[in-house]
Amino acid sequence: MSNAAVLKDDYLGEYHVYEPHRAGLPPIRPYFRELWRRRAFAVELAKSTIRSTHHDTVFGVLWNVINPLLLAGVYYLLVAIISQATQPSDYFAHLLAGLFAFYFVAGCMSGGSASVTSAGRMIMNTAFPRMLLPLSAVYIAFRKFLPTMLVYLAVALITHVGVSTTALLAIPMFMLLMVFGTGMGLLLATAQVYFRDTASFLPYVTRIWLYVSPVLFYPDAKFIEKIGPLIHLNPLYSLLGGWGDLLVRGDLIPAWMWIEAALWSFGTLALGAVVFMSRERDFAVRL
């Protein structure tokens, strides 16, 4: 490539002006343009992370299916056998659908929280939109989620729950879950930079969150009425409740549930994005 060609080629953003960030935020449009242009980086980072996690195990990538199966087994033991209460016939399918979606969100959160601090050296050396790092964690969580749906489908067929056409509406609900998970990932990534205990607290917070979300119980369980409107403070009530009703029961969910889920997910994403972008200049000096 001749030098003249390099100068003409504006593919790499050959002309840069660096000025103080207004209100702490980088210029928005160039930021997202660069983010989009470098999306291959987020994907490649996710792939190499996945490869290296199972690099030295006997089962390798098979763990992506073994994990959800074991998880399903553990909760089946816990709820169906130990509690001895008679559950509806679709309970196990409901439990799995909720668990797998919940673990997707939890994956966005734990992956997101570690994404910036573990990329330390790359952040010191290269200028790129840092948001690619937590987004890569969301992609990892999604790649881990996909095989769990195969496990779910198998269980739904075996337990005669089946899959109705309404279940297709679970896809937009899952997208809202992804939006919510991204927002949480961005928030936790920022929190982890300033407060390194975040990742240590996270598993406990996640565990409690699982128990108060409609995973082990149905979103219309009797005791929900006693809790009253407080239940709506849990974003996962509408998100996971709607997801389970659509996917497992094949019920159309009420409009308020869609609206509540959309408000929580996009609100969290907006908050996460603003917090993350306004702090990301700091990352290079805080790591």
Partner 1 sequence: MPSDSDKPVGPVISVQDVCITYRTTFEKSPTLKDAVLRLGRRERSVREVEAVKNVSFDVPQGSVLGIIGSNGAGKSTLVRAIAGILPPTTGRIVVRGKVSTLLALGVGFNAAISGRENVLLGGLAAGYSRAEIADKYEEIAGFAELGDFMDLPMRTYSSGMFSRLAFAVAVHMEPDILLVDEALSAGDAKFKEKAAAKMAELVGQARTMILVSHALGTVRDMCNDAIWMNKGRLMIRSEPQHVINEYTRFVNVGESAYTLEDV
Nearer to partner 1, 173 or 191 (CB): 191
Shorter beta-carbon distance to partner 1: residue 116 or 231: 116
Binder of partner 1 out of 105, 132, 202, 240 (CB under 8 A): 132
Binding segment for partner 1 (CB under 8 A), chosen from 27-35, 137-145, 147-155, 265-273, is 27-35
**Could you say whether residue 45 binds partner 1 (CB under 8 A)?**
yes
Shortest distance, position 138 Cβ to partner 1, whole Å? 17
Determine, following the binding rule CB under 8 A, whether residue 143 of this chain makes contact with partner 1: no
The DSSP-derived string for 116-179 is: TGGGHHHHHH----TTHHHHHHHHHHHHHHHHHHHHHHHHHHHTT----GGGGGHHHHHHHHHH
Q: Is 4 in the site for partner 1 (CB under 8 A)?
A: no
Q: What does each C-alpha distance from 182 to 68, 189, 231 come to in angstroms? A: 22, 10, 22
Place of tokens 């896809």: 171
In the three-class reduction of DSSP (H, G, I as helix; E, B as strand; rest coil), residue 25 is classed as strand
What distance in Å separates the CA atoms of residue 67 and residue 53, rounded to the nearest whole number?
13
| Whether 176 contacts 262, CB under 8 Å | yes
Q: Is 59 in the site for partner 1 (CB under 8 A)?
A: no
Q: Is 281 exposed, middle or buried (0-12, 13-18, 19+ CB in 10 A)?
A: middle
Of 133 and 155, nearer to partner 1 (C-beta) is 133
**284 three-state secondary structure:** helix
Q: Is 23 in the site for partner 1 (CB under 8 A)?
A: no
- Closest alpha carbon to 254 in 169, 128, 154: 169
Could you tell me which stretch among 37-45, 79-87, 179-187, 204-212 binds partner 1 (CB under 8 A)? Answer: 37-45
**Residue 205 within binding range of partner 1, rule CB under 8 A:** no
Binding residues vs partner 1 (CB under 8 A)? 1, 3, 6-7, 12-21, 26-27, 30, 34, 37-38, 40-41, 44-45, 48, 51-52, 55, 121-128, 132, 194-197, 281-282, 284-286
